[in-house]
Amino acid sequence: MRSSLKILFYLRKNRLNKDGKASIMIRLTINGEMSQFSAKLDVEPELWDAKYGRVDGKTAYANRLNATLDNIKAALINHHNEIEKFDTVVTAEKVRNAFLGVESRHRTLLDLFNKHNEDVKKLVGVNKTAATLQKYQVTCKRLETFLKHQYNLSDISLKAKWEAFGWDVMEMQGNQIQEVVNGLKHAKTLTGKEKPVCILMHTKMGYGVDFMTNDSKWHGSAPNDEQTKRALEQLPETLGDY
């Protein structure tokens, strides 16, 4: 079922800046749920056409602001369509976060599987075989076919998948140890509420070590003593600090 999206631009007239201008605000409404946030633009209140949600007039100033508003609206629609493509539920908050860069991109099941297969491909001849890679590729293709046939989806977000099974889902940056520690403490407060808790950690392979970052060969391979010393010198903290 497609969600209904409404986008409204309006002025916050009760709070003018030192130049006498009011902030242009955005109100997103999706299936009755509303989210409001600043467009990071301001304009003189007397130039604002509240009926059409635009700057009145045909001056270069008005045209420039209106063109920016058109671009913002197009970006919001694109984010909405992208989320609707992958998530089972689209909310005004999700669209707002995507637009503001809070959630720059959804982690999806097939994205993760394809990334896994790319890493395995690099390890063929090292500690993986071509036959193993082929099995993973076939499984990924069958999963893609299943999602399309069963749910009419080209992909699905990991968060939405777990939520569909009734889990409470938390997301965190898995390479930030303090955030992981705080997240685990918060997860404990969610237990005992008749719902299991799933933690999705967004990580970068080999994060913080220059010769290991995004290099899949270190997955399952131990560094020698010299490499271990070099790596530890680059890491500001380790689990031992906690």
Give the number of other CB atoms < 10 A from CB of residue 69: 19
The CA distance from 164 to 167, in Å, is: 7
Q: Residue with structure tokens 């599987």?
A: 113
Predicted structure pTM score: 0.48
The pLDDT, as a whole number, for residue 242 is 47
Give the number of other CB atoms < 10 A from CB of residue 212: 19
pLDDT tens for the 242 residues of the chain, in order: 566 899 999 998 888 888 999 999 999 999 888 989 889 899 999 999 999 999 999 999 999 999 999 999 999 998 888 877 766 568 888 888 778 765 544 578 898 899 889 888 988 988 889 999 999 999 999 999 998 898 788 888 888 778 878 888 887 777 777 778 888 888 888 887 778 989 888 787 888 888 988 787 787 788 999 999 998 888 776 655 54
* Region label for 194, one of left (φ > 0), alpha (ψ between -120 and 50) or beta (otherwise): left
The CA distance from 83 to 99, in Å, is: 11
The pLDDT, as a whole number, for residue 208 is 83
Tokens read off for 113: 């599987």
- Interstrand relation of 22-30 and 33-43 (parallel, antiparallel or unpaired): antiparallel
The CA distance from 198 to 227, in Å, is: 34
Q: What is the DSSP letter of 18?
A: T
Residue 39 parent element (H or E): strand 33-43
> Cα–Cα distances in Å, from 102 out to 40, 79, 99, 226?
16, 12, 8, 39
The pLDDT, as a whole number, for residue 2 is 63
Whether the CB-CB separation of 23 and 9 falls below 8 Å is answered with: no
The CA distance from 86 to 24, in Å, is: 30
The pLDDT, as a whole number, for residue 227 is 92
The pLDDT, as a whole number, for residue 104 is 44
